Structure 1
């Protein structure tokens, strides 16, 4: 099992690009993986992600999954409080407690998938004191190297009743 901790994070805002994910309406589904990779790569290759990089408040790369109006959506972008550029979208993360799952090694997409599978497959059980609270999930590339990634997944949680 990879490292897991719960920590309080301040509210933050991701700006970037979004797409609808097909094949599910939940926040996490295995069929999203290829769709996420394809979308993220397309935004890199067409220059859109590098174009908003100067707006980033830090060195990390971000993606996110959120369910909006019953549709799972995937975002690729940067964390920034700067004005929203034309043709971009924003996703606001509330401040609060997050389960932070961390891992390293291998391709970033595979690392993110492993951590999300861990969270929704074995972590959030009745025995765990926290449960998923329903907000967006952040995928954070810490080392800037998607081929040998150091990553975190931030899942919003609340104490189980």
Structure 2
């Protein structure tokens, strides 16, 4: 079983630039390709750098959220500022979060690995809490030994 913790977090807000994912929610290959294309685009066109430039810390957030019955995927940062490219202020509630730590060679690998562990192993096995929706995020926190490291934060409620 994957290592994880359940932690209390204060509410926080992430300024995000997003894209609607058009693949069926069961089409993991399609979803992952759409996410990869999105990250490549914002990395190459300077949008990600613009977000990083206004961030209050070094964390890069990869957020998944259902909005108006659409699957949305965002790149985001914590900031007091805004930029014209921003598409949403994403509110994360105060409360308990399942936190899964991990690492990967790329941002995409880190996010996919943590998402797979959190939703494929941790949440199905966890008996005391449940994910009932709302935004969830992978937080890229830095680099060590040539790998990116970070955490997946999923808001949960007690069963």
Instruction: Provide the TM-score with structure 1 as the length reference.
Output: 0.85
Aligned equivalents of 1:5, 1:47: Cα separation in 2: 35
Q: Secondary structure at the match of 2:110?
A: helix
Aligned residues of 2:142 and 2:150 also touching (Cα < 8 A): yes
Q: Does 1:33 align with 2:32?
A: yes
Q: Which residue of 2 aligns with 1:74?
A: 73
Q: Which residue of 2 aligns with 1:64?
A: 63
Q: Which residue of 2 aligns with 1:7?
A: 7
Q: Secondary structure at the match of 2:142?
A: coil
Aligned residues of 1:22 and 1:72 also touching (Cα < 8 A): yes
Aligned equivalents of 2:73, 2:109: Cα separation in 1: 16
Aligned equivalents of 1:142, 1:63: Cα separation in 2: 11
Q: Which residue of 1 aligns with 2:19?
A: 19
Q: Does 1:143 align with 2:142?
A: yes
Q: Secondary structure at the match of 1:76?
A: strand
Q: 1:53 and 1:24, CA in 2 relative to 1: closer, same or farther beyond 3 A?
A: same
Give aligned pairs, total: 157
Q: 1:129 and 1:70, CA in 2 relative to 1: closer, same or farther beyond 3 A?
A: same
Aligned equivalents of 1:6, 1:38: Cα separation in 2: 32
Instruction: Provide the TM-score with structure 2 as the length reference.
Output: 0.86
Q: Which residue of 2 aligns with 1:153?
A: 152
Q: Which runs of 5+ in 2 are unaligned?
A: none
Aligned equivalents of 2:77, 2:92: Cα separation in 1: 13
Pick which of 124-133 and 91-100 moved more. Answer: 124-133
Q: 1:87 and 1:107, CA in 2 relative to 1: closer, same or farther beyond 3 A?
A: closer
Q: Which runs of 5+ in 1 are unaligned?
A: none
Q: Which residue of 2 aligns with 1:86?
A: 84
